[in-house]
């Protein structure tokens, strides 16, 4: 049952990305180009998503436990540290260069655009490299 709900949530998310145009890297790059052909529509999509998540979390947290899990899985690490800031910077640079973040990249993959076909495999390589880098003292916050 959990898999079915996960599939449905992913399907709704993917359809939302396509309908909003966020699977198109040009849309994202135009949002980031504030001195050129700036397109503010991404801000509205992010604002709508933030509002929906805010309301959704408030509704979910009044329940004693999740519907399909034994308990809520809430991160215990809340400190802003070097690994978080480094990862955020690398993610932002990659997003600015490619116009994709992981969700829209997977959503755009079936469209077989050449940029997507290059981005997704290299994103997976980056994830593997990032996991290896987590073992380095610098990225442990030491």
Which of 52, 30, 54, 34 lies closest to 42, judged by CA?
30
Q: What is the mean pLDDT of the chain?
A: 85
pLDDT greater than 80 at residue 137: no
Per-residue pLDDT for 3 more than 70?
Answer: yes
The residue segments making up the domain with residue 69 are 2-140
User: What average pLDDT score do residues 75-97 get?
Assistant: 86
- What are the tens digits of pLDDT across the range 10-67? 899 888 888 888 888 888 888 888 898 899 988 898 899 899 999 998 998 899 988 8
Give the Cα separation of 114 and 22 in Å (integer).
17
pLDDT score recorded for residue 78: 86
Structural domains of the chain, count: 1
- The C-alpha atoms of residue 68 and residue 79 are separated, in whole angstroms, by 29
Neighbours of 66 (CB within 10 A): 12
DSSP H helical segments within the chain, as ranges?
2-20, 25-32, 41-60, 82-98, 102-108, 114-133
pTM above 0.85, yes or no: no
Residue 89 pLDDT more than 90?
Answer: yes
CB 40 within 8 A of CB 31: yes
């Amino acid at each position: 049952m959990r898999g079915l709900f996960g599939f449905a949530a992913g399907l709704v998310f993917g359809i939302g990305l396509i309908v909003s145009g966020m699977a198109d890297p040009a849309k994202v790059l135009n949002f980031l180009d504030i001195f050129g052909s700036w397109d503010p529509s991404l801000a509205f999509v992010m604002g709508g998503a933030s509002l929906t998540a805010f309301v959704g979390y408030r509704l979910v947290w009044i329940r004693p436990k999740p519907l399909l899990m034994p308990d809520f899985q809430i991160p215990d690490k809340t400190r802003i540290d070097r690994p978080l800031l480094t990862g955020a910077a690398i993610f932002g640079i990659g997003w600015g260069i490619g116009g994709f973040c992981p969700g829209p990249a997977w959503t755009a993959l079936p469209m077989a655009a050449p940029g997507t076909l290059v981005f997704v495999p290299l994103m997976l390589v980056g994830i593997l490299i990032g996991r290896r880098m987590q073992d380095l003292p610098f990225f442990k916050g030491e």
